[in-house]
Structure formats: structure tokens, C-alpha cells
Structure 1
Amino acid sequence: MSNLRIIVAAVGITLTSTGCGPMEWQLSASCEETKKCRMEGRIGGKIGGGERDGLPWFERILLASTSEVPDAAQFEIDVSGSSIAFPANGSVTLLLFDGRQGATIAAKLFQWHRTGTILRLVDPDGVNAWAASASGPATELRYDLATFDVSAAPGPNTIAAASRYGGATKAASVSDFQVCTKYPSPYQCGLTP
């Protein structure tokens, strides 16, 4: 039994000392004056270290230390800095993408819901199972929330979003937009400030 502990400890040291590269996170959020908004992002990078670049995404995850393995239940989008009211739910397309080939490996539509100012996946276990079975040679996960309508006051507004994993902010986006109204409003449609 002590030999097994030594082997497990040696494997753990090897995984943590291989120079695992950082994950890259991107997020973009924007709205139009029609109060239609979009949000999309990307999670990629060197999961499990640069020496494993030739391996498919899910194999790199399996070889990575447990602190590197992404879990959809730990992912959320915080929209607390926004001046707009978000809908209670919506849909998001998740894409497993191979950046080396520039090709989408798999894509699937999932649902999200809002609790307060936090957007989360409705079925994170389903997302994890899908990603594990469909990832192939994917090097990144892309997400694209379907265009959604928001409530916003006439005039200047802000959409702010932060993608968080395990409570830590990984990427953020802030975008200002103006909601126009008809004459005689000071925020007339078709006029640029």
C-alpha cells in the first residue's frame, strides 16, 4: 500500500511540475438601441501543459491535475454591473472548437437561467457529459448566448458581464449603448450624439 502512495505522489508531482500553461478566457457583451443583446466567449489555452498540444482537448483534461479540469457547474456570468434588466432564462450554444484546424468539432444548444445577477447553466452535468463525449481534438470551448431582449430605460445604458469560474473572475466586458425613443424625447432614434 505504501508503494501505491509513493506512485500516486510521484504522479501528482509530475503533473504539477510540467509547466501547465494558463487557460485563456475571453468575453464580449453588447446591446443595440433596440434592446437586443448578445454575449459570447471562449475558454481555451494549454490545458494540461504545452507538451500535450497534439492531444485532443478531453485527453489533455484527463491528464491534467484536478485543479485544471473544467466543471460546468463552477462557471457563471455575473451581470451585476449592468444598468439593464436581464431575462429570467435563455439559450446558449456551446461549441467545441479545434483552433489548429479552424473547425468546429461539435455544437449543442443548452439552457441558462438567471438567479439575481448571475447567469448559470440549467444542466451543468449534461454539459460536462456532452463535452467529455464530443470533444475530440477540440482546443477550446466557445459559448454564444442567443440574442436576448432586455428592459432598459431610454438614454445611455451599460451591459457589463464577468465570466467567473469557481467564484474568480476570468474575463470581463463592458459596453455602453443608447436606447432611443420617438420625438420629442432627448434620445431620438436615428440621431447620433
Structure 2
Amino acid sequence: MPIITARRVTTSWVADQIQLRDALAGFDEREPGDAIGFAYTPTSAPWLRRVDHTWSTRDGEPVPSSTFEMRAFTSGAELRWWQTMPTGQGRCAIVSETAREPVAPTPPADFGSHTRSLLLWGTAATVGDGWTKLIDGRIDGELWVPVDVVREGSSVYLEFVEYWAQDEHGNVGVVEQRLTQLTAKERQ
């Protein structure tokens, strides 16, 4: 549920029975420029980058056809798409603080927005071309993320904004979240 904050968060576009490619095209139109995101498939969760209206993984592969959920974002907006039908159609929404035409109501209680971050798995092992490979000695595998890291051994964080509101009983809680960027920090 979107809320009014010092910086208003709104759901600016909602669509039902939409293919992922069409949702991404709508996001491209509303949020031009570079963007990043990740897709959930039955076997993986690859990160992707949008450059010149083209989404691809580090290896240049397109968005996987088996994607059942995707979150794509810029610093100002986030697209959420999830499959709801076996035909590949789904539902999408764009969450932003600068919506042109809000499509969802906003409750009056406001406790502001709060920036948070989540530590991604692993540490930087390989850096180059705007991508960083994260590895962890305890777990077999690697995770390529679309972020420039200054040094190998650095950690990568997923930054997001939480929006808090008060309900009718006086309880304050998170009512919305919006992904904003990946950042790298040297380990202490």
C-alpha cells in the first residue's frame, strides 16, 4: 500500500495480464536510461542490466524465458512483475516517488521514508566491465552483479527505501519498499 511521505511514494502504473517483455517496455518508457534488476527462474536468479533499452545478463543473454518474477530498478523507480498465468502473463506495478498519475490511494498517516541496505552473499573476486563476481569459500558457486567494485574482497549491498505508516490501531510498520541501487564497500 503506497503512502504519502515527505517524498511521496506512489504506484504509478499497474497492469494485469501483461507479458514480461511488455512490462519492461513500459518501464523503459517511464524510466529511461540505465537500470538494473534480477529475475527469478526455477533454477537461478540472474542479475541483469539495461543499456540502450536492452536487458541482458553479464554473458549477454536476454531475460530468461522461464522468469516467473522480476524486479528492475533505477534510483528513482522500481518495476515489479510476477507471473500469474501459465501462459506467461502476469501483473506489474511501478513504484516511484515521482509518479505522473498515481493509480493507488494514499493513507494520511506518515512516518517518513528510511534508507536501508542488505548485504549480498559473498565478496568481490573479479571486477570489470561494470560487473563484479561475488564468491564465498563456504558455498560452491558465483554471483555476478551489475556494479563496479573498487577492490577485490569488497562487499556489495542492495540499497532500498522503506516507507512507514501508522495503522488505525496506532501501530507503525513498513507499508512499502522500493529498491534503489547496488553499492560496494570495502570490508573492515
TM-score range normalised by the length of the shorter chain: under 0.3
Could you say which structure has the higher helix fraction?
1
TM-score (norm 2): 0.28
Asked which structure has the greater RCO (Cα within 8 Å, sep 6+), the reply is 1
For the pair shown, which has the larger CA radius of gyration, 1 or 2?
A: 1
Give the alignment's TM-score, normalised by structure 1. Answer: 0.27
